Structure 1
């Protein structure tokens, strides 16, 4: 799989989101963290802001719903035009139905797992998704330190994905930087969410290039390219 970089606007200036999107024209996605102060202890933005952002950027939006009732709200993000909509396994009550509704609305469907949530119980859902997102920090806030304890789960997830044909994207989110992205790529991840590493840099676009270069040194089997 080709390396994909998805800068997270959680680390951008919320008063200048259009400018933040324009600052990373070389990114593959723009990652949008939707938090409701119930599933996670933080409140960010919702569907109206996503709808406005869609008008302000040509980058596809990678919407990560850290909310209590994704079954109710997720399809609307796909219908609004998001390119990818990810729901949390821990929050969804009817994940198969919701994932199928996301796909039916024209978006890629993603399933997210918190650091302590094992991947094996969700193997049967791999056929219902386009991307598996593994949190590499506890969800809720940007700027957290990368949790190395998730690396074995990234490897197990890659093995499961490969066993099912290898068509899914494997995304990691949390603490990703030029110092940690290589470990994630070696473990099998191919889509990388980066917040502070991009928007905390003097030149966000250059930071995207650096991350892509570091991750790109790892081959598809986790070997140095």
Structure 2
């Protein structure tokens, strides 16, 4: 079955505790960290992690959309990240960084932007716990899914099966109940959803419907 990671970026931060209560049955909470350099937007960093640590939350799935992610790995791991996703486009020494993340007892995911081909992952793929495929250009919540990225999910799933690997495939960007089954059919394991969950009338119902999707 599909796993669900609601993106906290789409939540109402004036009522964070109440927002978390709405998604308590999710598998993860997705935390987007943006620096205004790697992507054209600035979001939260360690303060939101500290706030989430005070609440009863699902495991934290942290997506570092930042330059020089290696400078911040230990900090986010110490703040409770269960998953750390770093961009292949932002890190020169990716093997070393993946090893560091895993040495901290955190799952190491590599994220790829829509324009980055799956072939760019071939030398790192056997070392990671997961791959995060961006299905929109990162930086802002509420964007529309880029249909062409679905083929990247399929290619990555084929590569996984061909090499006999068991890393997980996460997808992020414009995922909703209309296209969730499609990305699962293509091979996605973790669906990251922001507006589709937090701006729905019944977030818990949306989460349950996605978790019932099967390949």
Interval of TM-score (by shorter of Structure 1 and Structure 2): over 0.9
Counterpart in 2 of 1:223? none
Counterpart in 2 of 1:45? 44
Partners of 2:2 and 2:210 within 8 A in 1 = no
Superposition pairs of residues 178-197 of structure 1, within 5 angstroms:
178-197=177-196
Counterpart in 2 of 1:101? 100
Partners of 1:54 and 1:61 within 8 A in 2 = no
Q: Write out the 4+ residue segments of structure 1 that deviate beyond 4 Å after TM superposition.
A: none
Partner-residue secondary structure (3-state), 1:148: coil
Alignment size in residue pairs: 215
Partners of 2:29 and 2:57 within 8 A in 1 = no
Partner-residue secondary structure (3-state), 1:193: strand
Counterpart in 1 of 2:201? 202
CA distance in 1, matches of 2:93, 2:51: 29
Partner-residue secondary structure (3-state), 2:138: coil
Superposition pairs of residues 9-48 of structure 1, within 5 angstroms:
9-48=8-47
Partners of 1:65 and 1:87 within 8 A in 2 = yes
TM-aligned CA deviation for residue 164 of structure 1: 2.7
CA distance in 2, matches of 1:90, 1:16: 34
Counterpart in 1 of 2:128? 129
Residue ranges of structure 1 left out of the alignment (5+ in a row): 220-225
CA distance in 1, matches of 2:103, 2:94: 14
Partner-residue secondary structure (3-state), 1:56: coil
Please identify, of 41-50 and 74-83, the stretch whose mean Cα deviation from structure 2 is larger: 74-83
Choose between structure 1 and 2 for higher RCO, CA contacts under 8 A separated by at least 6 residues.
2
Superposition pairs of residues 205-224 of structure 1, within 5 angstroms:
205-213=204-212, 215-216=213-214, 219=215
Partners of 1:79 and 1:106 within 8 A in 2 = no
Residue ranges of structure 2 left out of the alignment (5+ in a row): none
Superposition pairs of residues 66-77 of structure 1, within 5 angstroms:
66-77=65-76
